[in-house]
């Protein structure tokens, strides 16, 4: 199957084709989010069913399971292995959602889609970072963030344009994702394997794999890995407990708490994600390799906290809604997800770079799954203000961790970073420098 496809895919074309995993991931989440109210009405779903769909989706536990296995397979069989098969499963999942006529069909399609999305994400960030020039790694990794932001902007716009068609419009949106996935899968068949991964595998074979540790054991036993886990899970989990819930529930909140129409809610999200696209390109991609990443991260984190302070304590009027959308939309472009994708690819050795990301992504999405399952009930029973305060606590924790522990990796090759953190060749032998 690897021989199927277009001519060899290299350079920025390769980066973009790999980054499309993030367009597909975010597009899947938003396609579900923008149609959640319609599915709820069509299938007569209660809050438990709504929470279950969210918890098992590409936004949460489905993606968590996919990432856990995808990261392991990516390190064992190569980055290209994932790109050969993950989107085939994805296409099956979104097709099943598009033709769903009952809750079991919708749920099974949601789970398959989530698993396929999760499998591709660690491979995406890993491959891009490994193939990028050292002095342009943030720019290249930022392409994944750009795709992740463009997916929701386009999907919400489609939701507005297709709103007169009702649920049929939502089905068409999922078909659009299927078509994008097929084109991306076809182009990816021309990708070459990661050069760093091949070099690492050759070295392992030469050494006879005598000192190999399992990924989880290596992550927990080596101090540099433990430090990286605390930083990365700290910023990505706590930011995503807010952002992940927003990704799935924000249109639902706009409509059920703010009293907006479906069209108004979706247009607000188009504006929000368009701002994220802009700041991803003009701030993260343009400045991430040149200026202090700690400073950029801190500015984005504080803007995100300000956005939720306004939304939580001033009520949902048009002033607060626009202020929230502008602050959060801009902050998300150079926020925790962009830096997580960059640092997660820099701070671990090649031999288990994707596996480490898979484990972290699993833990983060598991956390989102639990929170997403609880959130509708929290808003029903305790009100939106209580939910907003919880979101603010999450954001404050991620802000402090990121500002205090941001690493200085600008302009360094992945090999340089590995040697600084683990010592020359010691990362491959399971020993960290003291």
- With beta carbons less than 8 A apart as the criterion, state whether 126 and 353 touch: yes
326 has a pLDDT exceeding 90: yes
Least confident of 24-33, 83-92, 305-314, 337-346: 24-33
pLDDT of amino acid 93: 94
- With beta carbons less than 8 A apart as the criterion, state whether 137 and 289 touch: yes
Q: Is the dihedral of CA 284, 290, 291, 292 positive or negative?
A: positive
Among 361, 52, 387, 67, which residue's Cα sits nearest to residue 250? 387
Least confident of 138-142, 176-180, 286-290, 314-318: 314-318
Query: Which of 145 and 429 is assigned the larger pLDDT?
Result: 145
pLDDT digits (tens, 9 = 90+) for 120-167: 888 888 888 888 888 889 998 888 888 888 888 888 888 889 988 989
83 has a pLDDT exceeding 60: yes
Read off the pLDDT of each residue in 240-265 and give the average, rounded to a whole number: 80
Percent of the chain residues topping a pLDDT of 90: 36
pLDDT of amino acid 226: 93
pLDDT of amino acid 125: 82
pLDDT of amino acid 275: 95
286 has a pLDDT exceeding 50: yes
pLDDT digits (tens, 9 = 90+) for 396-417: 999 999 999 999 998 899 989 9
DSSP string, 365-378: HHHHHHHHHHHHHH
Tokens, residue 160: 């507005």
236 has a pLDDT exceeding 50: yes
432 has a pLDDT exceeding 70: no
- With beta carbons less than 8 A apart as the criterion, state whether 63 and 389 touch: no
Among 294, 415, 304, 422, which residue's Cα sits nearest to residue 350? 415
- Per-residue pLDDT band for 31 (boundaries 50, 70, 90) equals confident
pLDDT digits (tens, 9 = 90+) for 182-213: 998 988 888 888 888 888 888 777 766 555 56
- Per-residue pLDDT band for 2 (boundaries 50, 70, 90) equals very low
What Rg, from alpha-carbon coordinates, does the chain have? 21
DSSP β-bridge partners for residue 9: 191
- Per-residue pLDDT band for 64 (boundaries 50, 70, 90) equals confident
The per-residue pLDDT of the chain, averaged, comes to 85
pLDDT of amino acid 426: 47
Question: For residues 385, 389, 390 and 395, what is the CA-based torsion angle, rounded to 10 degrees?
Answer: 130
Q: What are phi and psi of 9, to 5 degrees?
A: -105, 115
Cα 307 to Cα 301: distance, rounded to the nearest angstrom: 10
- With beta carbons less than 8 A apart as the criterion, state whether 197 and 79 touch: yes
Read off the pLDDT of each residue in 302-309 and give the average, rounded to a whole number: 96
Among 255, 254, 370, which residue's Cα sits nearest to residue 322? 254
- With beta carbons less than 8 A apart as the criterion, state whether 169 and 163 touch: yes
Identify the three-state secondary structure at position 9.
strand
Read off the pLDDT of each residue in 337-347 and give the average, rounded to a whole number: 93
pLDDT of amino acid 24: 84
DSSP H/E element including 136: none
pLDDT of amino acid 210: 52
- With beta carbons less than 8 A apart as the criterion, state whether 351 and 426 touch: no
């Amino acid at each position: 199957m690897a021989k199927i496809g277009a001519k060899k895919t290299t350079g920025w074309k390769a980066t973009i084709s790999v980054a499309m995993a993030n367009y597909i991931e975010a597009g899947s989440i938003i396609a579900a989010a923008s149609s959640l109210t319609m599915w709820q009405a069509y299938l007569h779903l209660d809050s438990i069913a709504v929470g279950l769909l969210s918890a098992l989706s590409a936004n949460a536990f489905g993606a968590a399971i996919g990432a856990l296995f995808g990261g392991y397979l990516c390190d064992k069989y190569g980055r290209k292995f994932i790109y050969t098969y993950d989107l085939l499963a994805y296409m099956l999942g979104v097709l099943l959602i598009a033709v769903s006529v009952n809750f079991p069909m919708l749920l099974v399609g949601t789970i398959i889609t989530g698993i396929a999305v999760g499998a591709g994400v660690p491979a995406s960030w890993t491959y891009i970072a490994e193939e990028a020039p050292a002095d342009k790694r943030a720019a290249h990794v930022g392409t994944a963030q750009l795709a992740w932001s463009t997916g929701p902007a386009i999907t919400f716009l489609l939701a507005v344009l297709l709103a007169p068609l009702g649920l049929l419009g939502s089905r068409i949106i999922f078909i659009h994702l299927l078509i994008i996935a097929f084109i991306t899968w076809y182009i990816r068949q021309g990708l070459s394997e990661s050069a760093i991964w091949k070099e690492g595998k050759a070295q392992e074979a030469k050494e006879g794999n005598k000192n190999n540790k399992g990924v989880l054991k290596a992550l927990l036993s080596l101090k540099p890995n433990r430090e990286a886990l605390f930083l990365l899970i700290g910023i990505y989990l706590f930011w995503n407990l807010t952002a992940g819930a927003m990704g799935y529930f924000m249109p639902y909140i706009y409509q059920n708490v703010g009293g907006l129409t479906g069209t108004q809610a979706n247009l607000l999200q188009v504006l929000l994600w368009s701002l994220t696209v802009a700041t991803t390109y003009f701030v993260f991609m343009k400045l991430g390799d040149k200026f202090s990443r700690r400073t950029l991260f801190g500015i984005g984190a504080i803007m995100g906290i300000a956005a939720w302070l306004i939304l939580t304590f001033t009520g949902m009027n048009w002033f607060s809604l626009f202020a929230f959308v502008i602050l959060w939309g801009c902050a998300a472009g150079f926020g925790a997800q962009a830096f997580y994708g960059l640092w997660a690819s820099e701070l671990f050795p090649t031999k288990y770079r994707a596996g480490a990301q898979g484990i972290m992504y699993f833990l983060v999405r598991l956390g989102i799954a639990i929170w997403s399952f609880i959130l509708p009930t929290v808003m029903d029973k305790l009100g939106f203000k209580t939910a907003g305060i919880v979101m603010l606590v999450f954001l404050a924790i991620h802000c402090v961790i990121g500002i205090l522990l941001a690493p200085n990796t600008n302009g360094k090759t992945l090999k340089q970073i590995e040697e600084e953190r683990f010592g020359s060749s010691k990362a491959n032998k399971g020993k960290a420098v003291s």
